Amino acid sequence: MAPKLGIIAGSGALPKKLVEKCRETGRDCFVLAFDGETDPGCVEGVDHLWSRLGAAARNFAALRQAGVEQLVMAGGIRRPSLAGLRPDWRAAQFFGRIGLRALGDDGLLSAVIKELEREGFALVGVETVLDEAVAPEGPFGRHRPDEQALADIEHGFRVAAALGTLDIGQAVVVQQGMVLGVEAIEGTDQLIRRCAALRREGPGGVLVKAKKPGQERRADLPTIGPHTVEAAHAAGLRGIAVEAWSTLVIDRMAMTELADRLGLFVFGRAG
């Protein structure tokens, strides 16, 4: 029998999908939910604790008391200010030890994972639980990128790699060779909305998402789903390209059907 899974639940639909998968497979799970971040529907009917990020001692104790052996980090969490974090003694000890690594997403996530492992938990990637959520190569539906879109995709991946090297973001929007916007702290949805006002005449742009070079795969992999397709369509984009085997897809069938209906392509490109 698989060990009890602790789900560190951020925002979005991914934590709920993990809970549903555990129910389907009969696996015990425990959800650590965060005020203002986690969807309340994620914890319905499942063992859980509502807490805050800075309450590290309480969170560790709850995970141990629940009998959690493996942990998975799922969903986004907005980084609070130090004042908003209100770290307890255990969290303050952690930040005192990692110092400047807390300034960048990759450094912070890697440090958090090492800290969880120091506490005796085994960290696993989302794809080890939801293997069907990993994006494959090639087109997802009946629409395919044309020559111009393929050129925009290639340019987008070059820009995304540069962004990732600087630990800035995972997404970029390109239209006819021009970069309309890059993702920073605001997230992909806000990037797409911002680019809607910047689009040019002619064939629409492409959203490109890719993991950062050297990124820790057990946390914060690029993620898309039906809401991404809806946002891309509303912004006048004509497609989405993701890094195959390194991107998570929520509700792949529903997303593909929606993209087909709206006339958008979704395409997995090998990294």
How far is the CA of 143 from the CAs of 197, 255, 259, 262, 266, in angstroms?
25, 13, 8, 10, 8
Q: Where are the domains of the chain?
A: 5-128, 134-270
Topology adopted by domain 5-128: Rossmann fold (3.40.50)
pLDDT values of the chain reduced to their tens digit, one per residue, 271 residues:
789 999 999 998 999 999 999 999 999 999 999 988 999 999 999 999 999 988 999 999 999 999 999 999 998 877 766 666 788 888 888 878 776 555 556 667 778 888 899 999 999 999 999 989 999 999 999 999 999 999 999 999 999 999 989 888 899 999 999 999 999 888 899 999 999 999 999 999 999 999 999 888 888 899 999 999 999 999 999 999 999 999 999 999 999 999 999 999 999 999 7
Q: Is the CATH number of domain 134-270 3.40.140.80?
A: yes
Q: Outline where DSSP puts E strands in 118-209.
A: 122-124, 138-139, 171-175, 178-182, 206-209
How far is the CA of 208 from the CAs of 128, 234, 246, 253, 266, in angstroms?
24, 16, 13, 20, 10
